[in-house]
Amino acid sequence: MNSVAGGGSFLSFPALVLAGIPAIPANATNNAAMWVGTIGGARGYWSDVKPHKRMLYSVLAVSALGALIGAILLLLTPAAAFDRAIPWLLLFATCVFAASPLLVKPHGGDPEHQGWQLVVQFLVSVYGGYFGAGMGILMLAVLAFSGLPTFNATNGMKNVLSVAINGMALIPFLIARIVDWHFALPMAVTALLGGYFGAKFFRRIPQPVARAIVIAIGVTMTLLFFARGHHG
């Protein structure tokens, strides 16, 4: 899902919470596993990204800094407050994903990052370090204004930035020792395989079909967590 349309955390994060892992460690564990998956996705799209790799340097720096700040903010958030925030974060991410066609503009011009894009990318990276679900969709919206020639190039750039964001956020989580490796390791292996082969072989899936699946999952998980919070 992440390599084709984004939104994989709509499944993986709720699965960890429903398996009984507290929300903040579940988020950190999901980040660790998804980081490995983004490496696979980035590798699968590298041929599309390579011609534009000079664009990456400045945006990678702001992405890494934002992710570090977001991860630290998560560790400072009381567990009960984060539990209450989960359905709202999922709702926000689902709405952004559903509205993303309205947020992007057609590709054109020479590929470049504008100053405002670096600012927005920093804020997106803070969100990515803090929670992450829907982060890829936000990045696709920002990157759409960079003038990259194809969607595959834009999606590949998003995957490379996700490697930096999830990897930097993982550092505070490792220091705090809140990653549950019993779940993270098998998830990481399957995320790596899914990211790589998804990027390689499933880029031909019609985007409307892939988007509809992700939106349906996002809505279902949002409603599930609102109901869970209400009964809790």
**H helix intervals, the chain:** 9-18, 23-44, 46-49, 56-76, 79-103, 115-130, 135-143, 151-176, 181-201, 207-231
Query: Does 213 map to a domain?
Result: yes
Domain membership of residue 2 (yes or no) is: no
Position 196 in a domain: yes
Compute the distance between CA of residue 68 and CA of residue 207 in angstroms, rounded to an integer: 32
Number of domains making up the chain: 1
> Is residue 149 assigned to a domain?
yes
- pLDDT tops 90 at residue 21: yes
The larger pLDDT score, comparing residue 85 to residue 149, is at 85
Q: Is the pLDDT of residue 1 over 90?
A: no
pLDDT digit string (tens) for 161-216? 999 999 999 999 999 999 999 999 999 888 888 777 776 665 666 767 767 877 88
Name, of 19-33, 132-146, 188-202, 213-227, the range with top average pLDDT.
Answer: 19-33
Domain residue limits at 118 = 9-231
Tens-place pLDDT, residues 27-85: 999 999 888 878 877 887 788 888 888 888 889 999 999 999 999 999 999 988 988 88
How many whole angstroms separate alpha carbon 92 and alpha carbon 96?
Answer: 6
pTM for the model: 0.81
In a domain, 57, yes or no: yes
Res 184: pLDDT: 94
Residue 4 lies in a domain: no
Stronger pLDDT, 101 or 70, i.e. the higher one:
70
Cα 222 to the center of its chain, rounded Å: 17
Inform me whether the pLDDT recorded for 128 exceeds 70.
Answer: yes
What average pLDDT does the segment 136-154 reach? 79
Per-residue pLDDT for 3 more than 70?
no
Cα distance between residue 33 and residue 48, in whole Å = 24
203 within a domain of the structure (yes/no): yes
